[in-house]
Amino acid sequence: AVSPQMHDEFMLQYQLPILKHFGLVAYGCCEDLSQKIDILRQIPNLRRIAVAPFASVPVCAEQIGRDYVISYRPSPADMVGYGFNPDRIRKILRRDLHACRDLHVDITLKDVETVQSDPERVKKWLAIAREVVDEIF
């Protein structure tokens, strides 16, 4: 990870001339952008900001507000990986989505490396996620 200043100087300033050519921009992937939301506001057509598994969801949600879509990306290991635990999944989703409850948010389950030979976990996770979304939103 690099500081917000280094991210701005050595990455974002080189991305801006490219990003301006697109209608809407989704920014971020796996990095923690918790301390970089302010510098991302330089992107004139920014629509969606990734909130990665290592980011603080409440901190990001507070900074992003209703200005952009929060692309919430929970840890795939916690969601469908090792030790599949529906109660833990509910607890994590409730905690994180509660911070986003009045905001624009999507949930992206990405970078799944294993479901421990149980692909049904993905269907079960989806049912749990829908349940929590209905409960909070």
User: pLDDT tens digits, residue range 85-111?
Assistant: 999 999 999 999 999 999 999 999 998
The residue among 35, 30, 44, 43 whose CA lies nearest residue 63 is 35
Structurally, the chain folds into a number of domains equal to 1
Sheet holding 46-51, edge to edge: 25-27, 46-51, 69-72, 105-107
Q: What does the pLDDT look like over 31-78, one tens digit per residue?
A: 999 999 999 999 999 999 999 999 999 999 999 999 999 999 999 999
Could you tell me the pTM of the whole model? 0.93
Mean per-residue pLDDT, 120-124 = 96
Q: What is the pLDDT of residue 41?
A: 98
Angle between helices 120-136 and 86-98 (to 10 degrees): 40
Q: What percent of the chain has pLDDT over 70?
A: 100
Segment 23-34 shows an average pLDDT of: 95
Q: What is the dihedral of CA 69, 127, 113, 7, to 10 degrees?
A: 10
Q: What letter would DSSP give residue 111?
A: -
What is the domain range of residue 108?
A: 4-136
Q: Do the Cβ atoms of 49 and 74 come closer than 8 Å?
A: no
The whole-number pLDDT of residue 137 equals: 94
H-type helices in 30-71, by residue range? 37-40, 57-64
Question: To the nearest whole number, what is the mean pLDDT of the chain?
Answer: 96
